[in-house]
Amino acid sequence: MAALTTSGPARELITRYERHLNTRRGLSPATVRNYVADLAPFAEYAELQGIALDNDVSAIRSFLSRGGQEHVHQEYRSLVRDYVSWLLEGRRLHSGRRAGQRGHERNSVIRSLAAIRLFVRFLIADGLLPDAPLWAPGSTLMRRFTPRAARRLPDVLSAQEAGRLVEAPLRRQPTQDTREGAGASGGRLRDQALLELLYGAGLRVSEAAGLDTDHLDFPGRQIRVWGKGSKARMVPLGRSAHNALRSYAEKGRRNLVPKDGNASTGGTEALFLNRRGGRLSPRSIHQIVRRYAMQAGLRDDVHPHTLRHTFATHLLDGGADLRVVQELLGHSTPTATQVYTHVSQTEARRVYMSAHPLARPKP
């Protein structure tokens, strides 16, 4: 089945849903796209059951009401239970590192269920589907259907590896012409400022891409960041990140602005620019990080979130309070931040085993 888009049979419904997410929920454009994309497996499953998603969801409504209104709750339960089983065991994956295999990983199923809950609540509020206790916020039944998340330790770099990465743009490669133009020089200053900011401030890739020039506060050595749910936070800048950003802003950025005008997006000036003077995209940031990671001799799976993980872990290793790290990362609850304490404990164990005389085996 094709991906769920605004050009399919439910295009009017999906357009209204996107508008709802943008205006009523205050979500970022990237989050809205993800929520819509995560509906695609459900639309595929519904079509297999002969209840294709359409603009008025009449097929789904008829399916739920086939045993009478008193059985709607049971039909919802069966639909969600069978859908989760299909995701875990039956659906063939079309993309990603497990393409061609069957069955989603648990975290993918959890994300898909979150998207379905939000979508169904929208349909219920719009009067298109009947309500049921399953969809109530905090439903214990929905928790029973939701797989337990797999606990994975974040992938982090050592301090030495992170240092090599952020300094990589300043090392001219043998193939580079020493008479390179201003645009190339501006690009290197931009890349170093970007890497320093990702590691030195722990930004999400979407947050870095969305920065504007007026978000910088050089005298205060801080930057205003717009995170998930359009929540703003002020993030302090360390000396290294502050100096790199100032060099880029004062020397490098103007070399990336077209001579015939400003790099402008929606009336605001983007901070990180591409070679055409437009806003640097999240995809381009991923490519920049990967390119310099390989140039620095690191593994080829380093991505922007690796630097965010590394930022948080190194702060905790240095004695920072968990609540402070939570605030700097823009997490709404400490739960998402606590995973980094496990990484720090792992590092503490490694240091203890290598340093304490009673921890080493006797020769």
Q: Which residues are catalytic?
A: 204, 228, 305, 308, 331, 340
Conformation bin of residue 181: beta by default, left when phi > 0, alpha when psi is -120 to 50: beta
Closest CA to 198 of 153, 230, 245: 245
66 Rama sector, left if φ>0, alpha if ψ -120 to 50, beta otherwise = alpha
CA-to-CA distance for 312 and 198, rounded, in angstroms?
11
| Residue 187 burial by Cβ neighbours in a 10 Å radius (0-12, 13-18, 19+) | buried
Residues 6 or more apart in contact with residue 110 via CB below 8 angstroms: 146, 147, 149
Which residue carries 């297999």 as its tokens? Answer: 48
CB 320 within 8 A of CB 185: no
